[in-house]
Amino acid sequence: MRKNILITGGAGFIGSHVVRHFVKKYPEYFIINLDKLTYAGNLENLKDIENHENYSFVKGDICDSRLLEEIFTIKKIDGIIHLAAESHVDRSILNPMEFVETNVKGTVTLLNTFKQFCDIKNAIFYHVSTDEVYGELDNFGKFSETTPYSPNSPYSASKAASDHFVRAYHSTYGLNIKISNCSNNYGPFHFPEKLIPLMINNILNKKELPVYGKGENIRDWLFVKDHAVAIDIVFHKGKNGETYNIGGNNEWKNIELVKLLCKLMDEKLGNEPESSLKLIKYVKDRAGHDFRYAIDSSKIMNELGWQPSVTFEQGLAQTIDWYLTNKDWLQHVTSGDYKNYYSRMYEK
């Protein structure tokens, strides 16, 4: 019998890569993509697979328990890969409650429906989470699966809460759960509110490049398709009740990364060398800005055999090429409400 896998948030950045990966690699699965299509969700991200016979899309909210019941009674759900979330730290500072709604209430609503309708001994509830739940690091050490949670932003606090609920449903009700906590992703279809696509879009449009504080904060970057493969591996081979950290072993100071993007884009666009560097503008720091994230991925590498497949050089080149050949996509997602967000954040 064909297995039915529900992927939530599958029209977003990472979700669209996960949906594509599963639809193409597993014809024996039927993939249901449930997404509310917020500003961050976009069916253009899934054009190439929208007519696949093992795929269907449902527009809806994970907080809507009636809709969830309908989905779970029409089809026996064998596994959930839960990615739906509000995902941007700056927006969480502007409006924390939206993050509580979707990330906490939505996750618990999904857990309740899963508990009520699924064969909980066999069906899998997989929560895709972030390394930001561990808080920040100084210049030393890395986050491991046993690092205590210490979230600093409303976003990371909401993801920490949802991780705790998922684990609590494992301990209390015996749900078969898996959690992964991943570092910063980059790649095609990344919404231009996050660092890398925002800088690419601004360099293309010769707009200022807003670097928070002194640009010395550090992030560990992972190519999104490598994250999708890691999610596949954790879903299929991860142990019940366990957490897996996923990282790129690829730490960059923000300012160094922005300078690298300027150089690569200037080369691609045939600009005068160093011309985009002049667009860099240091702006007011983010409130509660975590200094450094770094992930120790040895558990998933040693126990499950995952490792990143592309270097940062290769991944960034693919990413920049994608944005240059998909200017229409950028145009669509930056028209409308993006303009309001951008001026509220950067043109105060």
Residues forming contacts to ligand TYD in the complex (CB under 6 A) are: 89, 184, 194-195, 198, 210-212, 217, 219, 254, 286
Q: Which does 62 bind (CB under 5 to 8 A by kind): ligand TYD, ligand NAD, none?
A: ligand NAD
**In angstroms, what is the minimal distance from the CB of 270 to ligand NAD?**
31
DSSP reduced 3-state for 36: coil
Residue 284 tokens, joined: 């007011």
Q: CA-to-CA distance for 40 and 16, rounded, in angstroms?
A: 11
Partners of 211 in the beta sheet?
Answer: 282
Q: Which of 55, 134, 155, 342 is catalytic?
A: 155
CB of 71 to ligand TYD, least distance (A): 30
131 carries an active-site annotation: yes
Q: Do residues 209 and 264 touch, judged by C-beta distance below 8 A?
A: no
Smallest gap from Cβ 86 to ligand NAD, in A, equals 6
Strand locations in the chain, DSSP E?
3-8, 29-35, 55-59, 79-82, 124-130, 177-182, 184-186, 209-212, 218-223, 242-246, 251-253, 280-283
Closest CA to 221 of 314, 134, 154: 314
Which has the closest alpha carbon to 267: 331, 317, 311, 310? Answer: 317
Task: Give the one entry of ligand NAD, ligand TYD, none that residue 254 binds, where binding means its C-beta sits below a cut-off of 5 to 8 angstroms depending on kind.
Answer: ligand TYD
Q: Which residues pair with 292 in a beta bridge?
A: 137, 218
Task: Choose from ligand NAD, ligand TYD, none: what does 188 bind? Cβ within 5-8 Å by kind.
Answer: none
Choose among ligand TYD, ligand NAD, none what residue 12 binds, the Cβ cut-off being 5 to 8 Å by kind: ligand NAD
Would you call 313 a catalytic residue per the annotation?
no
Q: What tokens does 226 get?
A: 């490598």
Catalytically annotated residue among 35, 86, 132, 220: 132
337 catalytic per annotation = no
Minimum Å gap between C-beta 346 and ligand TYD is 7
Residue 12 vs 308, nearer CB to ligand NAD: 12
Contact at 8 Å (CB) between 84 and 15?
yes
Residue 175 CB, nearest approach to ligand TYD (Å): 28
Please give the residue ranges that form the binding site for ligand NAD (CB under 6 A): 8-9, 11-15, 35-38, 40-41, 61-63, 83-87, 102, 106, 128-130, 159, 182, 184-185, 191
**Residue 89 binding: pick among ligand TYD, ligand NAD, none (C-beta 5-8 Å cut-off by kind):** ligand TYD
The string of DSSP codes covering 263-318 is HHHHHHHTPPTTTGGGGEEEEPPPTT---B--B--HHHHHHH-----S-HHHHHHH
Q: Indicate which residue of 35, 61, 86, 131 is catalytic.
A: 131
> Annotated active-site positions, please?
131-132, 155
